[in-house]
Amino acid sequence: MGFCCFSEKLLGQYYHNKKNLTMKKSANKTKLKSVKLDRSLYDHADKLKPRFSEKPGLTESTVREISRQKDEPAWMLEKRLAALKIYLQKRMPSFGPDLSDLDLDSIIYYSRPNANEETNWSDVPDEIKTTFARLGIPEAEKKALSGVGAQYDSDVVYHKLKKEWSKLGVIFENMDIAVKEYPDLVKKYFMTECVPASDHKFSMLHGAVWSGGTFIYVPKNVKILLPLQAYFRMNARSGGQFEHTLIIADEGSEVHYIEGCSAPRYNQNSLHAGCVEIFVHKNARVRYSSIENWSKNTYNLNTKRALVEENGVIEWVSGNMGSGTTMLYPSSVLRGRGARSDSLGVAFAGPGQNQDTGAKAIHLAPDTSSNIVSKSISVSGGINTFRGLIRIAPNATGVKSAMACDALLIGQKSIANTIPELQIKNDEVNVSHEARIGKIGEEEIFFLQSRGLSETEAVRLAVSGFIEPIIKTLPVEYALELNKLIELEMEGAVG
């Protein structure tokens, strides 16, 4: 039986935007043709030679060289070396996708572009500037953003915050610079209690070799009206990118931060192991939106976590596609009474892709609430696995939590797995979980074709309806980008 995932509203919008469609009639069974689209916008590699590129593999000298080139204080080098020591002793993860083809000794852990950090796009080297222009970053900055950062391999090449926010004490800075200019804040929050380096194998690796990223501090009661954005582009062959994002929302403040990521496609494997730490203080609100579109040769092994205090709110909005293998589970630790977490995610897996994604909500205080909604699309043999965790402590009474996972299968041999886990340590809670897996069936396709859509248009509309709850939470520019990315990735058949 088909999985109905479109609406008359969407159909009406489609007719408003598309005209002169011709109806395709067939008395035979409906079969969809492959939809092949161009990915050159994202898969294109620049020929720019790096200023510096470390030899493949990771040793203590690699870590020391990274710290030396950044002219870091001694305390940061000590943190790096401590993380390296435990990383070398830790085994690879024992769950999730197969990582045996990831050769960590062949990864280049530090590659610096031949560019300095600028505050004017005209000063950025032409080839790098052209890459970001093709991705629409400068134009988005003009229209809809309070500030923008752009990282190319291991270094930030552009960073700027609008003056109206800097006057109010907002800090939006390259993480490397923040280490030097705001040492007290960084010492207090950087990989201490949110994501300690000892958390797992790839947080240890990140702690040793992190480079670039974003530092945000929003003062008490300051509400930033337009989003801040950073875009991370990995260009190096066999490269690794390890940006660190640290967001501190002080009491009563609000901020929306958007991250975009992409990389060109090579025959050799690449690695992304970034880290996001978010501190949501009392009565503060943070929305973190990300569209991760790494190339299919990339292993995306990312860590994201938020600590939420009394009446604070964290909102995660995630789009995951592109990478060959992903392990990503944004986590919310609700440790103040009345804290709330909302997690919305969509994952796309096409041929040769294994997307292992999900979310976690850890309830440590009374009257906290969480909502996890996951949508996955598996096409032509792609594998999606949802891992969700709701954990409720013995003293966390009055909790309300819900988890929902919807999986859409398109074409033959596509796979969707759901692995929910509920750890409930008291009886005074309200918790629910549901999961649905289905296909776009022949009846749905016939219905849409009978109203003038082609086979390809019918599938696109059905998929758009399926992911609508995630799309509508994004600013218009990014909603359009996510829709287009899924179109670029789609090829398959109704089965």
Residue 43 lies in a domain: no
Q: Do 10 and 87 share a domain, yes or no?
A: no
For residue 172, pLDDT beyond 90 = yes
Q: Which of 425, 440, 455 delimits the end of a domain?
A: 440
User: Both tokens of residue 266?
Assistant: 């090579």
DSSP string, 166-195: HTTT-EEEEHHHHHHHSHHHHHHHTTSSSS
Q: Which of 396, 413, 440 delimits the end of a domain?
A: 440
Residue 333 lies in a domain: yes
Phi, psi of 278 (to 5 degrees): -125, 130
For residue 134, pLDDT beyond 80 = no
- Over range 394-399, report the average pLDDT: 98
Residue 76 — very low, low, confident or very high, per pLDDT cuts 50/70/90? very high
Residue 32 — very low, low, confident or very high, per pLDDT cuts 50/70/90? very low
Q: Do 83 and 146 share a domain, yes or no?
A: yes
For residue 45, pLDDT beyond 70 = no
Q: Do 301 and 382 share a domain, yes or no?
A: yes
Q: Do 386 and 462 share a domain, yes or no?
A: no
How far lies 451's CA from each of 22, 395, 459, 461, 495, in Å? 9, 55, 13, 12, 21
Spatial separation of the C-alpha atoms in residues 375 and 251, rounded to whole Å: 32
Phi, psi of 420 (to 5 degrees): -80, 150
Q: Do 345 and 235 share a domain, yes or no?
A: yes
How many structural domains are present in the chain?
2
Residue 417 lies in a domain: yes
Residue 140 — very low, low, confident or very high, per pLDDT cuts 50/70/90? confident
Report the mean per-residue pLDDT for the chain. 85
pLDDT at 33: 38
Would you state the torsion angle of the CA atoms of residues 116, 119, 124, 129, taken in this order, to the nearest 10 degrees?
A: 130
- Over range 342-353, report the average pLDDT: 93
* Domain ranges, residue 127: 59-440
Q: Do 333 and 226 share a domain, yes or no?
A: yes
- Over range 268-296, report the average pLDDT: 93
Q: Do 241 and 379 share a domain, yes or no?
A: yes
The DSSP letter of residue 32 is: P
pLDDT at 46: 55
Residue 154 lies in a domain: yes
- Over range 360-389, report the average pLDDT: 96
Q: Do 93 and 136 share a domain, yes or no?
A: yes
- Over range 400-408, report the average pLDDT: 96
Residue 211 — very low, low, confident or very high, per pLDDT cuts 50/70/90? very high
Q: Do 320 and 261 share a domain, yes or no?
A: yes
Residue 100 — very low, low, confident or very high, per pLDDT cuts 50/70/90? very high
pLDDT at 488: 65
Residue 51 lies in a domain: no
| Higher per-residue pLDDT: 150 or 390 | 390
Q: Which of 440, 460, 482 delimits the end of a domain?
A: 440
Q: Do 143 and 175 share a domain, yes or no?
A: yes
| Higher per-residue pLDDT: 395 or 15 | 395
Q: Do 393 and 494 share a domain, yes or no?
A: no
Residue 147 — very low, low, confident or very high, per pLDDT cuts 50/70/90? confident
Q: Do 218 and 175 share a domain, yes or no?
A: yes
Spatial separation of the C-alpha atoms in residues 131 and 83, rounded to whole Å: 34
CA atoms in the 13 A half-sphere facing the CB of 270: 28
How far lies 205's CA from each of 39, 57, 85, 331, 370, in Å? 30, 12, 10, 19, 30
Residue 105 lies in a domain: yes
